[in-house]
Structure 1
Amino acid sequence: MSTNAPALPDAFLRAPLAHRAYWDLAQARPENSRAAIRAAVEAGYGIEIDVQLSRDGAAMVFHDYALDRLTEGKGAVNAQTAAALETIPLKAGDGRGMPQLSDVLDIVAGRAALLIEIKDQDGGLGANIGRLEQAVAMALTGYRGPVAVMSFNPHSVIQMAALAPDVPRGITTCDYAAEDWPMLNAAKRARLRAIPDYDAAGASFISHQAEDLSRARVADLKTRGAGVLCWTIRSRAQETRARRIAQNITFEGYAAEIPA
């Protein structure tokens, strides 16, 4: 753990974290929806959510950059105001649109660990960021439950250290395979793979790709006291393998067991 890092609360190392909340389309609970948030709380899980930026600067709880896959709308999320985004129905849901982060905080109300992934707004994990981080920090002002933020973009995590220094923060990490990151050149992928910004960000944890947990850098950070979470687990067998290294999982598609 970095010397200036707020510690990751123990709640993040107990109950498994429901990926994009406890979503299940068969139960009318789309990804990152209010219904999926409530279901996670009721089931006793922690919650992982994503935030994107609206045109007017609100933190919206949504994974994709475009509306097409998950909603009845089309086009870029950041081309619409928060009010408009709340009226575009999520597919297979209850007719409601995406929530703002402030709405989700009201729903959770400290009853579950809440891990917020700040989606990259630069386009290449660079420094052209700031508005979404400001919106997240503003929404979190006064929130008292166990909460932490993370991002693939280390600039976002560093910015959160300045905007909300008391909120635990981490870096979302992976093997940076070329086919998964076509917008990054080989040199940048190699740099990010080494997780070089952990200390500069004042991070206290990483959330690492489950298939890459054996990487030496992960072991090094864990030895130094970093919390090690992982993504995305989709079966009990995969969970068993991941827990040999990771201290907790982010899961979807099955009911993860909550440790006694």
Structure 2
Amino acid sequence: MTALDPVFLKTPIAHRALHGEGRPENSRAAVRAAVAAGYGIEIDLQPSADGEAMVFHDYDLRRLTGETGVIRTRDAAELGRIALSGGDGEGIPTLREILAIVGGRVPLLVELKDQHGRMGPTDGALEAAAARALAGYTGPLAVMSFNGHAVARMGALRPDIPRGLTTSAFDEALWPHMPEELRARLREAPEFERSGAMFISHEHTDLDRPRVADIRATGVPVLSWTIRSEAEERAARRLAQNVTFEGYRAAVPA
């Protein structure tokens, strides 16, 4: 099992890359800006209909493009022609395209979005797509997911890539589709040990949770998400070793 590169604990990580005016989230432009600024990069993956890992956060196209419909029902070529809102017309990128842009110059944290809706067993399609795209990539790299089954599957496919569990308070406001019984169970990161995760990335407003403290006490690295101000960063760093940020410029250590 490959350990998490120490650079993930010192270089602030731009959430969905360094998005902002003219640079949509998870876009090529946002990735280029993050590389230029020396930030680490967090991106999200969704599957295309023809088995490509696409860099896109939502299940549906509506919020981030002028289209509607579920992203996994379109093939990669079609998705590549769908312009991201707020950008210069560039389409949805594949993971392969983003890897070519980053080129190992900054740490890259790749989140596989849950396809189950209840964090249950997956069909493996997204994990397989990610594993194919990541073959041969060199540079600081880690993968993670809220879904522990996806984390475990990535471990089976690519045991050489460090993997982590994304964790949360699972409040109803952010997870309205989940029943409280399930949210209560997920708050305690039940899949952490089974998944083989070697780090967690936890919701920054919930970093004082005893379960997080127990994981930290075993020497497991704790990252945090999503930080939106210098004040939030200062608070998060009391309990987490690094931050995933957006909406401001985190300081890059010399």
Quickly name the TM-score band, shorter chain normalised.
Answer: over 0.9
Is 1:17 paired with 2:13? Answer: yes
Is 1:163 matched with 2:157?
Answer: yes
Q: So what's the TM-score if we normalise by structure 2? A: 0.97
What amino acid sits opposite 2:18 in the alignment? Y
Aligned partner of 2:245 in structure 1 is 251
Q: Which residue of 1 aligns with 2:106?
A: 112
Q: Distance in 1 between matches of 2:163 and 2:111?
A: 10
Segments of 5+ residues of structure 2 without an aligned counterpart are: none
2:28 is matched with 34
Superposed, which structure 2 residues align to 1:47-58 within 5 Å? 47-58=41-52
Work out whether residues 6 and 204 of structure 1, in 8 Å CA contact, stay in contact via their aligned partners in 2.
Answer: no
| 1:175 correspondence with 2:176 | no
- Per the alignment, residue 201 of structure 2 pairs with 207
TM-score under structure 1 length normalisation: 0.95
The alignment covers a number of residue pairs equal to: 254
Match of 2:70 among 73, 76, 85: 76
Q: Structure 1: which 5+ runs fail to align?
A: none
Matched, 1:123 2:107: no
2:153 maps to 1:151? no
Which residue of the partner structure matches residue 226 of structure 2? 232
Give, as a single letter, the amino acid of the residue that structure 1 aligns with 2:66: E
Aligned 8 A contact 1:129 1:156 in 2: no
Instruction: Name the SS of the counterpart of 2:195 in structure 1.
Output: coil
Q: Is the 8 A contact 2:122 2:150 kept in 1?
A: no
Matches of 2:69 and 2:227, distance apart in 1: 30
Instruction: Give the drift of 1:72.
Output: 2.0
* Of 77, 91, 100, the match for 1:97: 91
Instruction: Work out the CA distance in 2 between the residues paired with 1:176 and 1:137.
Output: 28
**Equivalent pair of 2:223/2:240 in contact (CA under 8 Å):** yes
Asked if structure 2 preserves the Cα contact closer than 8 Å seen for 1:72 and 1:89, the reply is yes
Distance in 2 separating the partners of 1:186 and 1:241: 28
Matched residue, 2:2: 6
Letter in 2 for 1:122: H
Residues 8-38 of structure 1 deviation map (CA, whole Å, 9 limit, x = unaligned): 10110111000000001x2x11000000000
Separation in structure 2 between the aligned mates of residue 203 and residue 229 of structure 1, nearest angstrom: 13
Q: Secondary structure at the match of 1:29?
A: coil
**Cα offset for 1:219?**
1.0
The letter for the 1-side match of 2:2 is P
Q: Is the aligned partner of 1:133 residue 2:127?
A: yes
Distance in 2 separating the partners of 1:70 and 1:125: 24
Paired residue secondary structure (1:48):
strand
